[in-house]
Amino acid sequence: MTNFASRALKIEEQKLSLLDQTLLPHEERWLLMDSEEDLIEAIQSLRVRGAPLIGVAAAVFLQLQKDAGLKPEKLNSMALKIREARPTAVNLMICVDQFLSGVSGEQILFEDVDLCNKIGIHGAKVIEPGDNVLTHCNTGGLATVGIGTALGVIETAHKQNKKIHVFVDETRPLLQGGRLTAWELGKSNIPYTLTCDNMAGTLMRSGRVQKILVGADRIAQNGDFANKVGTYSVAVLARHHNVPFYVCAPYTTIDLKISQGEEIEIEMRKKEEVHGITGALGSYLWAPKDSPVFNPAFDVTPSELVTGYILDNGLFTREEFLKAFKK
């Protein structure tokens, strides 16, 4: 494969390295993916994360193994293990399946860059000069190999000099907004304000949010979609306050095999993430150690709450989405 470098994925001399996102924003450490165990561990611990990026990382890793001469049987069983590393983002399954059906890892990689650019161009059309845009989780260059999905739209609108400002949900419990989106917006010099997740209602009520843009981990045929937990609450608030709510995603996030959101498997994570903060930044547990915990990594937002879908092939209203994808 040719050498390549994006914000979170590098290919150098036929080796894949990934930026350890659990250490951001304070440390930028790259990890060499020497084995399938390395990659699976990186995906499960969210060192590499974001629906498109985990799909591309898997495809690139498999391509490198193939190029190094790994036998088809072994490659196949490796691919199936990696495919199951996380259950919710369908990009992982779709990219591994594309690879197994003969699409090269390199093609999957460069396609993602292109898909992000297209989403950015379509999405920037809904952004008006001076808009305050609220976003949840992280959907930028750290979640893709391109400019991102929702954050790619923000990036594109900013480059078009639309003078936007972004409200960044912190995104409990793993703080993808506070740690990652804030870091990315800072790098691009896009004005932003960080807020805790439970402040979104107050912001909307006071009329300070004109648009909401989020990404997705899996979109069903009927337009219901899974995204980082908390997205559903934002969508309900948006409806109540009449704020347009857009989902931004490439076709690799659309699961044509499922008809509705209830069919999406939601990843459940460990209790320590809710008991306090735990991970590479250190550990501090503030809740009683034996507190029972509910910790789904994602939630499902019904399509009725979506104003529009910003996809790589255009902007779709809910009705247009249903026409295009519902069987």
Interface positions with ligand MRU (CB under 6 A) = 46, 49-52, 89, 137, 139, 143-144, 148-149, 176, 215-217, 227-228, 297
CA gap 145, 160 in Å, rounded = 21
Q: Are 86 and 43 in contact (CB under 8 A)?
A: yes
Is the CB of 49 or the CB of 158 nearer to ligand MRU?
49
- Among residues 51 and 66, whose Cβ is nearest to ligand MRU? 51
Residue type, 132: N
Which of 20, 131, 197, 217 is an active site residue?
217
How far is 99 from 109, CA to CA, in rounded Å?
Answer: 11
- Cross-strand pairs, 213: 135, 246
Distance CA 236, CA 297 (A): 18
34 catalytic residue (yes or no): no
The residue among 125, 123, 98, 100 whose CA lies nearest residue 109 is 98
CB of 24 to ligand MRU, least distance (A): 12
**66 vs 228 by CB, closer to ligand MRU:** 228
Strands (E), the chain: 4-5, 9-12, 15-19, 30-32, 132-135, 165-169, 192-195, 211-214, 218-219, 225-228, 245-249, 276-277, 284-285, 298-301, 308-311, 314-316
Nearer to ligand MRU, 66 or 232 (CB): 232
| Nearest distance, CB of residue 144 and ligand MRU, angstroms | 5
Rounded to a whole number of angstroms, the minimum distance from the CB of residue 231 to ligand MRU is: 7
Q: Rounded to the nearest whole angstrom, what is the least distance from the CB of residue 106 to ligand MRU in the complex?
A: 21
Residue 18 has, within 13 A of its CA and on its CB side, a CA count of 30
Return the number of the residue (123 or 148) whose C-beta is nearest ligand MRU.
148
Cis peptide, bond prior to residue 288, ω within 30 of zero: no
Q: How far is the CB of 53 from ligand MRU (least distance, A)?
A: 7
Residues classed as catalytic? 217
